[in-house]
Structure 1
Amino acid sequence: MIQFQNEAVIVYQSALFQTTSTVIQTKEMIILVDPNWLPNEIETIQNYVLSLKGEREIYLLFTHGDFDHIIGYQAFPGAKTIGSLGLHNHPKKDEKLKLIRDFDNENYVIRNYPIVFPELDIVIQEDGQQFHLGETTLTFYLAPGHTADGLMTVVEPLGILIAGDYLSDFELPFIYDSAKAYGDTLDKSSLILEKHNIQLLIPGHGIATWDQNEMKRRVDLAADYLKRLRQSVIANDEAALEALNQEHAFPSSFTEGCHKENVTIMKREYL
């Protein structure tokens, strides 16, 4: 479904995990972020992008290499690809592809394009790295923590922040990489909000927002969760840890597994 749309941006939300796919059009280019999940959802995005394209090139931006965010890669042949150096050198490419195949097989899903890990044309190696095309400027920030290969992108002059799997309106941090790095990325996101005139924040899961107070609330929400999780781990407070587990939206075996991983990484880094 479409959760947000204006003359320059359309944000699609999948039926699965409230995962977003974003299409941004400027005078010079079409930017497509993380096309996902189901074939009919990706086909809708395909048709829309092709209807806009004209003489402009398509730039396919990956926020990170989790399988749900790369699943639509080959549905857009010929697009120029952008991602982090961590994505380029991802150590578990075959594992991510297996997750896609397992998902499709378990759900009897048929796709009309091959399942391939993204090959990048533009590799982002450092904070502040920019890509310019006409009046459009993309400014990139490395965003480890959730995963090691995370990437945030500011699209100017539109003032759009593509946050990847951070700053959701409902989803608490899932730490697959590093709790310390996650905290640093939250600090970095605050600096991004201060440095750039962000008019629209788009998370990888959940609802886009143009409200400045809501953007700050999301940073504070994630930071507060990490602080309380760290304190509970250091104190070995099992009751507090279980209470934190219950704070996850849509509680399930999946969120319970993510909570256990969060605790494991916190223990590894702080005990």
Structure 2
Amino acid sequence: MTVTWEESGWEQVAPGVGRCRLPVWDCTAGLVVGTDAVLLVDAGSGLGEGERLRAEARALTGRRVTHLALTHPHFDHLLGAAAFAGTEVFGAVGMETVLTPRGREELRADAVRHGLDARAAQEAADALVPPRHAVSGEWTLDLGGGRQVLLANVGPGHTAHDLAVLVPGDPEVVFCGDLVEESGEPQAGPDAVPSRWPAALDRLLALGGEDARYVPGHGAVVDAAFVRAQREVLAERFGVSD
């Protein structure tokens, strides 16, 4: 027996497309449903959140998650990925360099610094495997029933490995990862590439267009005007000229 978006606590962004805002870090996870396959966008901050997302996706669709797209390699979007054994996992090319032993330790330490239980962080970091599919340009997924989803390597920007997900439809939906944030100022950590971030937002806008709904990594769904305004703020903040 499946549940509706409203019953599940998920927000329906477009027909067959939803998102939820996970607790603590207000991290977004997305869901795109086709007749033959189910795509999850981002996996949460640990195995517990990953298992929650897996169960909620099954309750919503009656089927298991078949594809997982990881928008970028930060703990709050990535550490739940190992809960999806047997799923086809996609990430921007080069993400595997973050999942070396040293990179896993940095992910674990960052998660603990932000308040994740140390044992849970260690378990999730140890279980991570590199995405099977590395997206260097654009990759089209056919989910069945005429639903095709475009994975686009639009970075670098927020990180060196930023992946966006475009869901064509009426309206079109763009999952932006943390290239766009609504609930606070975009965060630029040591792995950000500030000089390229405004250009990454230009690519997002080119993908979705004026009428798309843009789903940020944190916060409420926004429109093209919001993304454009954030692009200008970031260009000024980082001293990037057109």
Q: Same fold (TM over 0.5)?
A: yes
Q: Alpha carbons of 1:171 and 1:110: their partners in 2 closer, same or farther (altered >3 Å)?
A: closer
Aligned partner (choices 215, 218, 224) of residue 216 of structure 1: 224
Change (3 A) 1:100 1:78: farther
1:145 to 149, 154, 157: 157
Work out whether residues 79 and 124 of structure 2, in 8 Å CA contact, stay in contact via their aligned partners in 1: no
Q: 1:109 deviation in Å?
A: 5.2
Segment drifting more, 167-176 vs 113-122: 113-122
Show the counterpart of 2:188.
Answer: 175
Shift of 1:119: 2.3
Deviation per residue, 1:10-69 (Å, 9 max, x gap): 322122221111222111211111122366654432222233555665111100110111
Residue 166 (structure 1) aligned to one of 174, 179, 186: 179
**Please, which runs of 5 or more residues in structure 2 have no aligned partner?**
1-7
Taking the aligned partners of 1:114 and 1:93, their CA distance within structure 2 comes to 6
1:12/1:21 contact within 8 Å kept: yes
Aligned to 1:153, what secondary structure does the other structure show? strand
Contact kept? 1:2, 1:11, Cα under 8 Å: no
**Pair 1:226–1:10, CA change in 2 (3 A):** closer
1:59 to 52, 63, 67: 67
Matched, 1:4 2:17: no
Indicate if the aligned counterparts of 2:51 and 2:80 stay in contact, CA closer than 8 A. no
Q: 1:73 aligns with which of 81, 106, 117?
A: 81
Task: Please give the root-mean-square deviation of Cα atoms over the aligned residues, in Å.
Answer: 3.1
- Post-superposition Cα deviations, 1:199-248, rounded to whole Å, max 9, x if no partner, equal x3211111124xxxxx22322332232233245xxxxxxxxxxxxxxxxx
Structure number with greater CO (CA < 8 Å, separation at least 6) is 2
Of 73, 81, 94 in structure 1, the residue corresponding to residue 105 of structure 2 is 94
Contact 1:4 1:208 in 2 (8 A): no
Counterpart amino acid of 1:148?
A
Q: Select the structure of larger CA radius of gyration.
A: 1
Three-state SS of the structure 2 residue aligned to 1:132 is strand
- Structure with more strand by fraction: 2
- In structure 2, the residue matched to 1:105 is 117
Please name the residue that 2:167 is paired with.
155
Determine helix, strand or coil for the equivalent of 1:171: coil
Q: Post-superposition shift, 1:150?
A: 0.7
Stretches of structure 1 that go unaligned for 5 or more consecutive residues are 210-214, 232-265
Does the aligned pair in 1 maintain the 2:57–2:65 contact within 8 Å?
no
- Cross-structure match for 1:242: none
2:202 maps to a residue whose letter is D
TM-score, normalization: structure 2?
Answer: 0.77
Q: Is residue 2:205 matched to residue 1:190?
A: yes
Deviation per CA, 1:115-164: give whole Å up to 9, x if none.
Answer: 423422221011x3323343232222222111001111112346221111
- Aligned partner (choices 25, 37, 42) of residue 33 of structure 2: 25
Give the Cα–Cα distance (whole angstroms) in 1 for the partners of residues 54 and 142 of structure 2. Answer: 25
Q: Kindly tell me the number of residue pairs found equivalent between the two proteins.
A: 224
Match of 1:34 among 42, 59, 62: 42
* TM-score normalised by the chain length of structure 1: 0.70
- Between Structure 1 and Structure 2, the one with more helix by share is 1
Change (3 A) 1:220 1:82: same
- Which residue of the partner structure matches residue 249 of structure 1? none
SS at match of 2:32: strand
